[in-house]
Structure 1
């Protein structure tokens, strides 16, 4: 009986460790099979943090950027302190910076960073 409990705990631990990943629209970042992605950052309401969405050409619902957010293994949206924080996160996941542009409107400002998948994936 103790062996079965130990084996179950070991399997749970191993699958928990190997199953850890950040996803966008249900796809692990490491498995996004495209050359370019765009990260879009908007200030969060009543916060100094950014809401970051990732566009890699995936199909999304109209007016729903929620599914394009980076999520942890529990489905919670990751929060970034700045666009540079998000850029560093993507760099660690194998993406290189290409270009940036900012869209200013009376109601909002959106930062768009174009990234390209690097040759050496992923980085430590």
Structure 2
């Protein structure tokens, strides 16, 4: 039994080392305690992945300050905005309102407001 417990502990440690925490402007998503947040997606050129910008009231100097990144500071890519919204639910938020924002002459993108449960 001790061998199984030791093995499980070692496996868990390796899993935690490879896990990437998500943060915005150096603040982990689990440490954001705002009542409302705004989530937008930005399409990457020549890619089918989406960058997520998350605003919760922080000071924003440039676009890079609102993009969701991993611990190494690398921008994280998601399959869609809804992919991130579903993951962000694990941080205690739920979709509150969705509206469409004009992003070009003939296009728009959804903007999600999330509310803390």
Q: If the length of structure 1 is used for normalisation, what is the TM-score?
A: 0.72
Identify the residue that residue 67 of structure 1 maps to in structure 2.
65
Give the gaps of 5 or more residues in structure 1. 1-12, 119-124
Q: Note the aligned Cα RMSD (angstroms).
A: 2.3
Question: 2 CA distance for matches of 1:30 and 1:110?
Answer: 26
Deviating 4+ runs (over 4 angstroms): none
Deviation of 1:42 after TM superposition, in Å, equals: 2.0
Q: In structure 2, do the counterparts of structure 1 residues 20 and 82 end up closer, same or farther at CA, with 3 Å as the change threshold? A: closer
Identify the residue that residue 21 of structure 1 maps to in structure 2.
21
* Superposed counterparts of 1:23-38, under 5 Å: 23-38=23-38
Q: Is the 8 A contact 1:42 1:109 kept in 2?
A: no
Q: 2:79 aligns with which of 72, 81, 85?
A: 81
Give the gaps of 5 or more residues in structure 2. 1-12
Q: If the length of structure 2 is used for normalisation, what is the TM-score?
A: 0.76
Q: 1:101 aligns with which of 99, 102, 106?
A: 99
Q: In structure 2, do the counterparts of structure 1 residues 68 and 106 end up closer, same or farther at CA, with 3 Å as the change threshold? A: same
